[in-house]
């Protein structure tokens, strides 16, 4: 269920840092409301995934959103685009070495405000 803008706004008051900027941008872009709802909620609701977990959940050619941090455990061999709030240094290195496209959520919102062809990974 997608949260209302009012609920997101209330929860956002407890947040700090880059999360606030990302949630505000996501809230304004129609297709990103679901991501805004996840990020504005408790941190335990955000998703931190290892590369191996992303590998299990996606198909070749997909663009996937991780509403948390991408961690370096395992390998990602599928040709996908990974969009996340943050990347660990090792994960970023592995993805660049594998020539896998990466993007932060805020960068992706600017490029693709409708979230066309984007799969949001959930718990």
Residue 4 is predicted with a pLDDT of 87
Closest CA to 39 of 16, 57, 55, 62: 16
At residue 16 the predicted structure's pLDDT band, cuts being 50, 70 and 90, is: confident
Question: Given CA atoms 83, 88, 91, 96 in this order, what sign does their dihedral have?
Answer: positive
Give dist(CA 49, CA 109) in Å, integer: 21
Give dist(CA 90, CA 96) in Å, integer: 10
Give dist(CA 60, CA 69) in Å, integer: 21
Q: Is the pLDDT of residue 41 over 70?
A: yes
Give dist(CA 119, CA 117) in Å, integer: 7
pTM of the model: 0.91
Output the six-digit token pair for 123: 């718990």
Give dist(CA 75, CA 52) in Å, integer: 5
Q: Is the pLDDT of residue 46 over 90?
A: no
Tens-digit pLDDT profile for residues 56-79: 999 999 999 999 999 999 999 999
Tens-digit pLDDT profile for residues 89-114: 999 999 999 999 999 999 999 999 99
State whether CATH 1.20.58.100 applies to domain 5-120.
no
At residue 1 the predicted structure's pLDDT band, cuts being 50, 70 and 90, is: low
């Amino acid at each position: 269920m997608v949260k209302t803008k009012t609920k997101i706004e209330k929860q956002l008051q407890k947040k700090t840092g880059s999360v606030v900027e990302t949630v505000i941008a996501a809230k304004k872009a129609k297709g990103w409301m679901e991501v805004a709802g996840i990020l504005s909620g408790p941190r335990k609701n955000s998703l931190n995934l290892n590369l191996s977990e992303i590998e299990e959940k996606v198909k070749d050619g997909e663009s996937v959103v991780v509403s948390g941090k991408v961690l370096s455990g395992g390998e990602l061999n599928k040709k996908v685009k990974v969009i996340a709030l943050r990347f660990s240094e090792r994960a970023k290195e592995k993805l660049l070495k594998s020539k896998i496209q990466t993007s932060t959520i805020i960068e992706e919102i600017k490029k693709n405000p409708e979230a066309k062809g984007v799969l949001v990974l959930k718990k």
